[in-house]
Amino acid sequence: MSAMTDFTQELERVAAVATKHAANVDEDARFPQETVDTFLQSGLGGLVSASEFGGKGGTLRDAATVIERLARECGSSAMILAMHYSGVFVIEQYGDEATRRDVANGKHLSTLAFSEAGSRSHFWAPLSTAKADNGHVTLDAKKSWITSANYATAYVWSSQPCAAEGMSTIWLVPREAEGLQSPGPFRGLGLRGNDSTPVSATGVKIPAGNRLGEDGQGFDVMMSNVLPNFSVLNAACSIGLMEAISQNASAHCAGTGYQHLDSKLADLPTIRAYLARMRGKTDMVRSLWLDTISALEAGREDAMLRVLEVKAFAGEESVEVGQLGMRVCGGAAYRKEVGVERRFRDAQAAIIMAPTTDVLYDFIGKAVTGMELFG
């Protein structure tokens, strides 16, 4: 039985809190603390943690279902929690028992700290350093974006290897470690509650045991663990956003009319055709997303191709659906009355979150022509 079967009620409780605060999280550009606290207290924070440590033993499909549902209500909350699960999948595979217990029991909010000022969206090529030093490791870095930068318990962090060959090594870096600095609050176009700020590390000392995986193995961790999980969860955000935009726009057009003509917006064939495109795009991407999850579960040969596709097309289509929603709802969308403009702004981030759509197009093109992705 899926862990989700037991969690529908908790999920709806978290969704209700997300709904209540979504508009002011966006307007005030503030972290959705109430939603994150409710999420962690509900047990959903430990959804994919092993049951032997108090978690629910859930799967990527379960986590993706949670994120898609929450994204319909609050894009910021959904992305924060998508980053949480993305980090947790790494911690589950490589982390120590105490951290895994904390995650399982809702005492740990995770996130990824991969993007850097020097290598930008090319997350696979960190320039930051890690120097081994008598049982400790000293980290120096300029991380350019970390979701929940000032709220996460610890960061799943990339650096160049200490000594081994390879492109990177992954670490668990406590947010309160001395030498970490984050500038002022996040001010973004969308996902305004995300606290996705830069973080610099100057001589940050962590125990050598905080390494996640082997020295130099970071690229493998990124490709085998982070990329599939993050892509599916990022797509879940995009799908939740476009689902809400499609539903809100359809309801608005069905319920809003021209009194002097005694007709509804939905009586216009042009409007109906746009609504049809929105619905079709949303359903097509949802099918691709579900097929991607099935491909990963079955270890299908096309699983990696699906992973590359799902983030790219979910991101692109959600922005297009948002654009259509802005058009069909007219002035009501330009203001905040139908809840389309916030989600339209939130949807933009997926295109530039690494791997960005354009990098994914390049990877997909390489995959279908038999080339090495990183050749």
Ligand X SMILES: Cc1cc2nc3c(=O)[nH]c(=O)nc-3n(C[C@H](O)[C@H](O)[C@H](O)COP(=O)(O)OP(=O)(O)OC[C@H]3O[C@@H](n4cnc5c(N)ncnc54)[C@H](O)[C@@H]3O)c2cc1C
> Which residues would be at the binding site for ligand X (CB under 6 A)?
83, 111-115, 120-121, 123, 144-147, 188, 191, 194, 196, 349, 352-354, 356, 358-359, 362
Least distance between ligand X and beta carbon 80 (Å): 9
Minimum CB separation of residue 184 from ligand X in Å reads 16
Q: How far is the CB of 26 from ligand X (least distance, A)?
A: 13
Which has the closest alpha carbon to 82: 91, 71, 94?
71
- Residue whose CB is less far from ligand X, 177 or 254: 177
Spatial separation of the C-alpha atoms in residues 212 and 216, rounded to whole Å? 11
Q: Which residues are within 8 A (CB) of 139 and not within 5 positions of it... i.e. 6 or more apart?
A: 128, 129, 130, 157, 159, 171, 173, 179, 201, 203, 204, 205, 206
Nearer to ligand X (CB atom), residue 64 or residue 275: 64
Instruction: For residues 126 and 168, give the distance between their C-alpha atoms in angstroms, rounded to a whole number.
Output: 7
Would strands 263-264 and 257-258 be described as parallel, antiparallel, or unpaired?
Answer: antiparallel
Q: Name which of 167, 190, 155 is nearest 74 in CA terms.
A: 190
* Closest CB to ligand X among residues 156, 278: 156
56 vs 143, beta carbon nearer ligand X? 143
Min CB(27)–ligand X separation in Å: 17
**Beta carbon of residue 352, minimum distance to ligand X (angstroms, whole number):** 4
Q: How far is the CB of 283 from ligand X (least distance, A)?
A: 26
CA distance 188 to 80: 14
Please report how close the Cβ of residue 191 comes to ligand X at its closest, in angstroms.
4
**Closer residue to ligand X (CB): 290 or 359:** 359
- C-alpha angle with apex 93: 126 to 110, nearest 5 degrees? 65
First to last CA, the chain: 42
CB atoms closer than 10 angstroms to residue 363: 20
Question: Measured from the CB atom, is 42 or 356 closer to ligand X?
Answer: 356
Of the pair 126, 161, the CB lying nearest ligand X is at 126
CB neighbours (10 Å) of residue 178? Answer: 10
List phi, psi (to 5°) of 162. -70, -55
Cα–Cα distance for residue pair 280/225, rounded to 1 Å: 31
Residues 6+ apart with CB under 8 A from 206: 136, 137, 139, 171, 172, 173, 174, 177
In the bound complex, what is the minimum distance in angstroms from residue 337's beta carbon to ligand X?
25
Q: Which residues of 262-291 are buried (b: 16+ CB within 10 A; e: fewer)?
A: eeebbeeeebeebbeebbebbeebbebbeb
In terms of CB distance, is 7 or 155 closer to ligand X? 155
